[in-house]
């Protein structure tokens, strides 16, 4: 479903409401008309919403007051960070009655504490700025995504973002020590003590991580830092099939003393797409191969012999026939070129035509069989599509995407999206996997979450939502369906 209509004119621009909001936030912090337009379309352009206004608070207390006001007036509130999300979670619906809360102006780094290995950042800080602040303090903040130049910490926390260092450091959830959150009733929950241990009752902060703005608005977070990376070794290795990648990962973990931080699977077609569409990307190897892995070892010790470690391990794998060819990055520049190839796959996919995307995970060991079975289904059933399956193999997370084949008609290819999604997601369920590994649910996958989540878990999610947001003002229609009737309409499993 692709809603239309991008007119941002408020449907019921109640002057009392707008005046109340303006009074609450002060002059110049309310956008409407054309100034609101950029906030009404999601990154993938799947949704075009409307809104009553876009508001730009500057302080956590303002966000809390704003929510109190919206709760009183039963106004839907849509938090928006960098708007790079993949599931339409930050886009208002088409009613024109919702308020978009842009967190961009809450962008102070409040504290960097190198000895405590922690940093407190406001929700609107750009991820790359947080990485830089850590680096300047001789520390490392490991979350790393292709969108890190524009996504925000609040969005990362609210989607529980993953990226390319999860294998070593975990997802965003695992990088959090404390949170500050504005609640639907207008209170500010402050828990930024940066503690490593705290077992005082339930872990309330964890509720807001990955909640996509449906349970509260995150205004700041205390984040874990790590020793700064002082040496790395990066290789681009060709393999015959994904099974070899799983074996190589196990070997590398052992041989490197678990210094492996990234292990990405790349198919041949991704090389073709990126070299065709992205300037500066080239194939690191001389001859084409069916599959590749991009792997990286890192260490906080400058003298760690990572290059010899990686060379020796890949050399052995070459001898055993597990690896077909490999290139080791000989400079920082070459390392950046390898990563550019990997990180621009989504952009190359976009430039090549329409795509159908599935952000799935299965146990790492099951990835080869999943690719075999789902790939066979695609070959047999989607003649006008080409499989572009890549991603974070080290985390069992694949972007099992399809691109419109050359010469295929865009509309008829896109018309297959429901059938393709059903087949792939049903197979994911058969593998005891997840239909939402790192990109979240947003609006796009509300039905999928209902379909594949066990009833007891879904009931708990709904109970949490009712408790934390009894009037349903927080990001309505995202993650969970807003109307109570849908509870009865839940599809039978």
Query: Contact residues for ligand 2HG (CB under 6 A)?
Result: 146, 345-346, 357, 391, 399, 401
From candidates 221, 233, 475, 481, binder to ligand FAD by CB under 6 A: 475
86 is a contact residue toward ligand FAD (CB under 6 A)? yes
301: CB partners within 8 A, 6+ apart: 230, 231
79 binds, among ligand FAD, ligand 2HG, none (CB under 5 to 8 A by kind): ligand FAD
Q: Which of residues 59-78 bind ligand FAD (CB under 6 A)?
A: 78
- Binding residue (CB under 6 A) for ligand FAD from 76, 96, 162, 178: 162
How far is it, in rounded angstroms, from Cα 359 to Cα 421?
11
218 binds ligand FAD (CB under 6 A): yes
Neighbours of 92 (CB within 10 A): 29
Identify which of 408, 357, 436 has the alpha carbon closest to the alpha carbon of residue 46: 357
Q: For residue 340, what are the CA distances in angstroms to 86, 275, 294, 400, 441?
A: 20, 11, 11, 20, 27
Q: Could you say whether residue 84 binds ligand FAD (CB under 6 A)?
A: yes
Name the binder of 357 from ligand FAD, ligand 2HG, none, CB < 5-8 A by kind.
Answer: ligand 2HG
Q: Which residue has the tokens 């956590």?
A: 60
Q: How far apart are CA 72 and CA 102, in angstroms?
A: 20
Output the smallest distance, CB 86 to ligand 2HG, in A: 7
- How many angstroms separate the CA atoms of 289 and 254, rounded? 26
Question: Is residue 98 involved in binding ligand FAD (CB under 6 A)?
Answer: no
Shortest distance (Å) from residue 86 CB to ligand FAD: 5
Q: How far is the CB of 276 from ligand 2HG (least distance, A)?
A: 17
**Options 21-29, 50-58, 152-160, 294-302: segment touching ligand FAD (CB under 6 A):** 152-160
Q: Does 123 bind ligand FAD (CB under 6 A)?
A: yes
Judged by CB under 6 A, does residue 165 bind ligand FAD? no
Please, is 235 exposed, middle or buried when counting C-beta atoms within 10 Å of its C-beta (0-12, 13-18, 19+)? buried
Q: Is 210 in the site for ligand FAD (CB under 6 A)?
A: no
Q: Is the CB of residue 32 less than 8 Å from the CB of residue 53? A: yes
Residue-wise over 135-157: b if at least 16 C-beta within 10 A, else e?
A: eebebbbbbbbbbbeebbbbbbb
Q: Choosing among ligand 2HG, ligand FAD, none, which partner's interface includes residue 17 (Cβ < 5 to 8 Å by kind)?
A: none
- Enumerate binding residues for ligand FAD (CB under 6 A): 43, 78-86, 89-90, 103, 123, 145-147, 151-152, 154-156, 158-159, 161-163, 212-213, 217-218, 346, 438-439, 442, 475, 478
């Amino acid at each position: 479903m692709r809603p239309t209509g991008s007119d941002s004119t408020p449907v019921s621009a109640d002057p009392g409401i707008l005046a109340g909001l303006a009074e609450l936030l002060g002059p110049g912090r309310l956008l409407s008309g054309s100034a609101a337009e950029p906030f009404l379309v999601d990154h993938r352009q799947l949704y075009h919403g409307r809104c009553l206004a876009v508001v730009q608070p500057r302080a956590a207390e303002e966000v809390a007051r704003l929510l109190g006001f919206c709760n009183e007036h039963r106004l839907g509130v849509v938090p928006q960070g960098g708007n790079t999300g993949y599931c339409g979670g930050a886009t208002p619906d088409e009613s024109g009655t919702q308020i978009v809360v842009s967190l961009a102006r809450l962008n102070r780094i409040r504290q960097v504490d190198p000895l405590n290995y922690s940093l407190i950042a406001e929700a609107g800080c750009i991820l790359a700025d947080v990485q830089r602040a850590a680096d300047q303090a001789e520390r490392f903040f490991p979350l790393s995504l292709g969108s890190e130049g524009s996504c925000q910490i609040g969005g990362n926390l609210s989607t529980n973002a993953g990226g390319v260092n999860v294998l070593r450091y975990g997802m965003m959830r695992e990088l959090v020590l404390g949170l500050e959150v504005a609640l639907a009733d207008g209170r500010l929950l402050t828990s930024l003590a940066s503690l490593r241990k705290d077992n005082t009752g339930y872990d309330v902060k964890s509720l807001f991580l990955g909640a996509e703005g449906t349970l509260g608005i995150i205004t700041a977070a205390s984040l874990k830092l790590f020793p700064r990376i002082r040496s790395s070794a990066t290789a681009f290795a060709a393999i015959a099939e994904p099974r070899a990648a799983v074996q190589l990962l196990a070997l590398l973990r052992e041989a490197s003393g678990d210094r492996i931080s990234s292990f990405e699977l790349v198919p041949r077609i991704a090389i073709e797409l990126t070299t065709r569409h992205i300037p500066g990307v080239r194939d690191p190897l001389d001859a084409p191969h069916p599959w590749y892995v991009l792997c990286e070892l890192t260490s906080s010790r400058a003298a760690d012999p990572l290059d010899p470690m990686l060379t020796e391990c890949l050399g052995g794998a070459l001898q055993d026939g597990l690896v077909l060819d490999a290139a080791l990055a000989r400079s920082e520049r070459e390392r950046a070129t390898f990563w550019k190839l990997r990180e621009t796959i989504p952009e190359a996919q976009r430039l090549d035509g329409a795509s159908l995307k599935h952000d799935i995970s299965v146990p790492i060991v099951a990835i080869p069989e999943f690719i075999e079975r789902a790939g066979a289904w695609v070959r047999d059933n989607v003649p006008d599509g080409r499989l572009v399956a890549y991603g974070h193999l080290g985390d069992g997370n694949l972007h099992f995407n399809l691109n419109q084949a050359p010469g295929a008609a865009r509309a008829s290819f896109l018309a297959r999206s429901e059938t393709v999604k059903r087949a792939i997601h049903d197979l994911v369920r058969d593998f005891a996997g997840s239909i939402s590994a790192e990109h979240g649910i947003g609006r796009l996958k509300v039905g999928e979450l209902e379909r594949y989540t066990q009833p007891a878990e879904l009931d708990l999610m709904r109970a949490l939502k009712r408790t934390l947001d009894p009037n349903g003002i927080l990001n309505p229609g995202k993650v969970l369906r807003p109307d109570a009737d849908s509870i009865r309409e839940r599809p039978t499993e």
